[in-house]
Amino acid sequence: MAVTSRERVRLAAVKLFAAKGFHGTGIRDLAQEAKLSSASLYHYMGTKEDLLAAIMTESLRRLLDAAEQACEGVDEPAERLRTLVELHVLAHAVQPSETRVVDNEVSALSPEARAPVVALRDAYERLWADAIADGVASGTFATAHPAVTRLALLEMCSGVARWYSPRGPLSLDQLAAHYSELAMRALGCAFASGHTGAGRCREVVSRVWGVPV
Partner DNA sequence: TCGACTCTATCGATCGATCGATCGGTCGTC
Partner DNA sequence: GACGACCGATCGATCGATCGATAGAGTCGA
Rule CB under 8 A: which residues touch a copy of itself?
Answer: 19-24, 104, 107-108, 144-145, 148-149, 151-156, 158-160, 162-163, 169-170, 174-175, 178-179, 181-182, 185-188, 190
Nearest of 132, 176, 136 to residue 157 by alpha carbon: 176
Q: Considering the complex, what minimum distance in angstroms separates the CB of residue 84 from a copy of itself?
A: 16
CA 17 – CA 34 distance, rounded (Å): 13
3-state SS of 44-96 is HCCCHHHHHHHHHHHHHHHHHHHHHHHHCCCCCHHHHHHHHHHHHHHHHHHCH
By CB under 7 A, which span of 21-29, 53-61, 67-75, 78-86 interacts with DNA? 21-29
> Quick check: 20 binds DNA (CB under 7 A)?
no
By CB under 7 A, which span of 26-34, 78-86, 140-148, 162-170 interacts with DNA? 26-34
Residue 99 near which of DNA, a copy of itself, none (CB within 5-8 Å, type-dependent): none
> Quick check: 27 binds DNA (CB under 7 A)?
yes
> Quick check: 26 binds DNA (CB under 7 A)?
yes
Q: Considering the complex, what minimum distance in angstroms separates the CB of residue 209 from DNA?
A: 25
In angstroms, what CA-CA distances link 11 with 35, 66, 95, 132?
A: 11, 21, 11, 35
